[in-house]
Amino acid sequence: MKILGIETSCDETAASVVEDGTKESYYGAGLDRRQYYYPERYPEEWIRPEDDLVMAHDVLNALLSNGDVATNDKMILEGFSSGGMFAQRFALAYPEKVKAIAAGQCGGVIALPITEHEGKELSWPIGISDYEEIFHKPFNVDAYKKIKQLIYIADGDSHSSTLPNCGPQFYVKSDINHIIKHFGRTDPERLENNVKYLNSIGFDNVEFYTYSGDGHVDLWNIGMSEVVIDFFDTYR
């Protein structure tokens, strides 16, 4: 017997299917490897939510443009936890559609806009070596460098990482080992080093912010919202 469970916390599109005591979770918002490499395993409506967002944005813009509402062909996105993963990875998938993002925690690692690091090929969603295979287009690095990005995390948020707990359907295992070795073992350390590395190779559109917090706490509960709003006010 199969049992379907839906989670409605920060992972609003999360679901789990349990069959004979074995659970397989699915975080549609995370844009991980499963929906691109194993789409046949999941309902059609769970696949490629990034395309659905683009379609909804374009339709809404078209409707509003007929009235007195000012519209913009680019989005400003904010997300925390799985929502942060979506915002940060969506910016890679559709860089020409995004003006700015604020992404919190991001599952403990950001998807880097590079194909390799220190001689190691990095696959999605650690790197973009297989980007064209997944998204059927070349990566638009020039558009990506125009996106203002705030990556943030609580300094005590070290127990919610997706890296040690997720199987090969999420990440390539050797990529996980490489990222931990070169960028750090804890999520705050890893995210900060991710951003420092990107800055060092010319991606000065990405900045890092850490705030005081004991764990996986939503930004709206601890005053981080002011930082995000000020960030967006600068770039909108």
Per-residue pLDDT reduced to its tens digit, 9-47: 444 444 444 455 554 555 566 898 888 998 888 888 778
Split into its structural domains, the chain has a count of 1
Phi, psi dihedrals of residue 48, rounded to the nearest 5° = 50, 60
Neighbours of 118 (CB within 10 A): 8
CA distances 97 to 9, 91, 174, Å, are: 27, 8, 31
Question: Is 87 inside a domain boundary?
Answer: yes
Mean pLDDT of the chain: 85
Q: How many CB atoms lie within 10 A of CB 22?
A: 7
**How far is the C-alpha of 68 from the C-alpha of 104, rounded, in Å?**
34
Domain range holding 171?
49-235
Q: What pLDDT sits at residue 215?
A: 79
- Between 24 and 4, the more confident residue is 24
Give start and end residues of each alpha helix (H) in 65-172. Answer: 82-93, 131-135, 141-144
Q: Which amino acid is at 229?
A: I
- Asked if the structure places residue 22 within a domain, the reply is no
- Pick the residue with more confidence: 220 or 135? 135
The residue assigned the tokens 């995210």 is: 191
In a domain, 34, yes or no: no
**Does the pLDDT of residue 104 top 90, yes or no?**
yes
Q: Is 19 part of a structural domain of the chain?
A: no
User: Does residue 122 fall inside a structural domain?
Assistant: yes
Q: Which of 2-6, 11-15, 215-219 has the lowest mean pLDDT?
A: 2-6
> What's the rounded mean pLDDT across residues 92-112?
96
Residue 2 above 50 pLDDT? no
When pLDDT is averaged across residues 121-125 and rounded to a whole number, the result is: 96
Which of 10-19, 75-84, 141-150, 221-230 holds the top average pLDDT? 141-150
Lowest mean pLDDT among 86-100, 108-122, 193-207, 209-223: 209-223
Residue 3 forms part of a structural domain:
no
Residue 14 resides in a domain: no
pLDDT for 220 equals: 59
125: in domain: yes
Q: Which CATH number does the domain housing residue 77 bear?
A: 3.40.50
Give the model's pLDDT for residue 8.
39
Burial of 216: CB neighbours in 10 Å, binned 0-12, 13-18, 19+: buried
In this prediction, residue 18 carries a pLDDT of 45
The enclosing H or E element of 121 equals strand 120-121
